[in-house]
Structure 1
């Protein structure tokens, strides 16, 4: 039969050694995971940098296109306003003037009819 005699300090030293081995294994796993996370983060930052660069280049084109649309819409509004003023001067104003004259003319007849009846 084999007998093992350990003193307390030897047992403590054995436990510290086992803990050191397990701790080292977990630290290696942690550092590998951390390295993978840094690699992923670096790739994402590079992709975002390229996307932002593309967006910044396209922003100038979008701004120019928007300015052109605004200019064209201003011209169209000016043309509509000119057309409305022309219609008002050529059609609406003469019709209103004729209706006003006609109303005054008919009003004279109506006042004569009232005086005749009284």
Structure 2
């Protein structure tokens, strides 16, 4: 059967077999590429849905953030007013309570020294 075959005929047979193998391999590659593209498309669709949900919530998040910032500003303002009030109270206490008490203590110490010296002289 192959006794009368020429070399060019064998070459054509090998080229045909290689073409069939190449076609099968190409079909498998295209099938895998199709599956990969389907997976990528599914990921894109899922991400698009997630991005849309996030975009819908951005306004709410921004509004809530603004409210929190306003609350913080009010709290800081109130705290500043309290600190100013405490500072005024401390100054008032110092001027009208502590300073007179310290002066009285100083005078009392001076008087005790004077009385102490007089009592030492009498002995």
* Unaligned segments of structure 2, at least 5 residues: 119-123
Instruction: Please name the residue that 2:93 is paired with.
Output: 95
* Unaligned segments of structure 1, at least 5 residues: none
Matched residues in 1 for 2:55 and 2:30: separation? 37
Instruction: Please name the residue that 2:113 is paired with.
Output: 114
Q: CA deviation at 1:89?
A: 3.1
Instruction: Please name the residue that 1:30 is paired with.
Output: 29
Matched residues in 2 for 1:30 and 1:12: separation? 26
Q: CA deviation at 1:66?
A: 0.5
Q: Aligned runs of 1:42-81 on 2, under 5 Å?
A: 42-81=41-80
Q: TM-score, normalised by structure 1?
A: 0.81
Structure 1, 46-55 or 22-31: larger mean CA deviation:
46-55
Q: CA deviation at 1:115?
A: 4.6
- SS of residue matched to 1:4: coil
Q: TM-score, normalised by structure 2?
A: 0.78
Instruction: Please name the residue that 2:2 is paired with.
Output: 4
**Alignment RMSD, CA only?**
2.1
